[in-house]
Amino acid sequence: MAVKISDEIIEQHHGGVLTLTFPRLGHSTFLKHAISTRVGGVSKGNYKSLNISYKVADERLRVEENRRILSNALEIDLEQAVHLTQVHSDKVFHLTAENRPPAGESLGEGDAVITDLPNVPIYILVADCLPILFYDQAHQAIGLAHAGWRGTVARIAVKTLDAMRTAFGTNPQEVKAVLGPAIGPCCYEVGTDVKEEFGKAFPDAEELLEQTGKSHWKLNIPEANARQLMEAGMDPDRIIRSGLCTVEHLGWFYSHRAEAGPGSPTGRFGAFMMLVK
C-alpha cells in the first residue's frame, strides 16, 4: 500500500514494514530506491524495531531477521547489496563489476559509492547523518553519500557528484538528488569546534548556524549540502528535500543524538538504490 504524505514523499507499507520513496527522483521502471524506517522489525529496546546494522550491540539473529523482512519489502536481497565501512570521510568508491566485493563484505572505508551496474543494490546506514541519493537518468548512473558534519565540511556530496561526472559523463544540471531524513536545525546543537570548522568551509556559515548560547549553535546540515550542490551546478528544482528530522520523528527513524548514550547505542536505518534493467 502506498500513501502520499507530501508532494515529495510516498509511504510504502508492505507486511508491516514502512519505507519511504521519492517519486520525483526517478521512475521505478529504471530506478529502485527507498529509505527504510525503524517500523516493522523484531529488535527490542533501543533498537526497536527494524535495526539493520550489525555494528551496534543488537542481537545478530534479530538483525538477520530484520534484513530478511526488509529484503522482502524492498524486493531486493539485502545480503547481496553493496555497502561501505562508513568513517565520516570524503572518500568516494566507484563500484564496478571488477571490484564488487563478495556478499556481505564491505567495498572499503569510505562514505559514498557510485555505480552504473544494473541490478546491483547499494546502500548506506544512518541515524542522524544526511543520506543523499543521486540519479543521473541520462547516463543511467546512481550515487549514495553519507554526510555528517565532517563529511559536509569535506564536501562529500560535491565529491560524489564530481566522481559521477568523471566516471559517467554526468552533467550536474541533469542530476536529481534526494536529501533524506537527518537531524534538522531544530535539534542539532554543536559547539565551538564544529562552528569554527564550518566557518572555514562556508563563506556564508552564519546563515547555517543559529546561536543558542555562549558557545552553542544550531546547525543546518541539509541546507549546507544543498548549497554545496547548487554551487557545483545542480538545478535547485532537482534537489528534493525530505524535510524530515530524525529527532522529531523518532517513531520512524533512529537518532544517535536523541537515543544513544555511553554503552547504549541505537539502531540504524538505511538508504537504498538500484538501477533496474
What sign for the dihedral angle of Cα 34, 35, 38, 39? negative
> In which element (H, E) is residue 259 found?
helix 256-259
User: Do 205 and 199 touch, CB atoms closer than 8 A?
Assistant: yes
Q: Domain 2-181+242-271, what architecture?
A: 4-Layer Sandwich (3.60)
Q: What is the mean pLDDT of each run of 10 residues along the chain (277 residues)?
A: 81 96 96 98 97 96 98 94 98 98 96 98 98 98 98 98 98 98 98 96 95 95 98 98 97 96 92 97
pLDDT of residue 264: 85
Task: Return the domain boundaries, the chain.
Answer: 2-181+242-271
CB burial readout 185-224, b (16+ within 10 A) else e:
bebbbbeeebbebbeebbeebeebbeeeeeeebbbbbbeb
pTM equals 0.97
CA nearest to 149, candidates 214, 197, 216, 92: 197
CB burial of residue 3 (10 Å; 0-12, 13-18, 19+): exposed
pLDDT of residue 262: 85
